[in-house]
Amino acid sequence: MKKIFFGLAIMAAFMFAQTSNAQAKPKGKEWKVPAADAGKKSPAGVEAAAGKALWGTNCKSCHGTKGLGDGPKAEKIDISSGDFSSKDFQSKSDGSLFYYTKIGRKPMPSYKEKLSDSEIWQLVAYMRTMK
Ligand code: HEC
């Protein structure tokens, strides 16, 4: 029993250290979204569940399972990939999250060619589950 508790404590400490490292990196420069894009509304009936698999294949390597910016590829990037559980991130409009994902900005790739608009909306819905 004691051993299990100790193991869990180490795991928690490790996870905490990883998270704070990810967030200790400097943020990228301000990333402005054109007003017309920021105001775009998600179509009705989009399923967050459908975005989960897309997240796993396209985004998790940098943004981490829960959007904390602690994916394995993030280690090699010198700016923060953001904290998608934060108020600051979640207060951004659906249209803005759609725009960031579609357009990308180095080191983040653009998904314009890789994903359809409806897939990007599914990802937006999935990112809303990270709050
Ligand atoms: C190679 C690593 C990488 C991958 C893969 C990646 N991103 Fe990013 N992402 C970043 C980085 C780094 C930033 C911060 C960019 C900046 O500030 O210039 C970012 C920023 C963002 C932002 C804006 C964050 C904010 O705080 O405003 C969103 C939204 C986003 N990514 C969504 C996604 C989605 C959805 C996917 C998958 C389809 C994805 N990203 C794949 C590295 C990545």
Distance between CA atoms of 89 and 82, rounded to whole angstroms? 8
Distance between CA atoms of 121 and 41, rounded to whole angstroms? 9
Dihedral (Cα; 29, 74, 22, 128), 10-degree rounding: 80
Closest-CA residue, ligand 1 atom 32, reads 101
Is 40 near ligand 1, meaning CB less than 6 Å away? no
Residues 6+ apart with CB under 8 A from 49: 126
CATH number belonging to domain 2-130: 1.10.760.10
Q: What is the predicted pLDDT for the residue at 7?
A: 57
20's enclosing H/E stretch is helix 2-24
Given a cut of 70, is residue 95 above it in pLDDT? yes
Distance between CA atoms of 122 and 84, rounded to whole angstroms? 16
Would you place residue 11 in the very low, low, confident or very high pLDDT band (cuts 50, 70, 90)? low
Is 28 near ligand 1, meaning CB less than 6 Å away? yes
Q: Where do the domains of the chain lie?
A: 2-130
Question: Lowest-pLDDT range, 1-5, 39-43, 77-81, 127-131?
Answer: 1-5
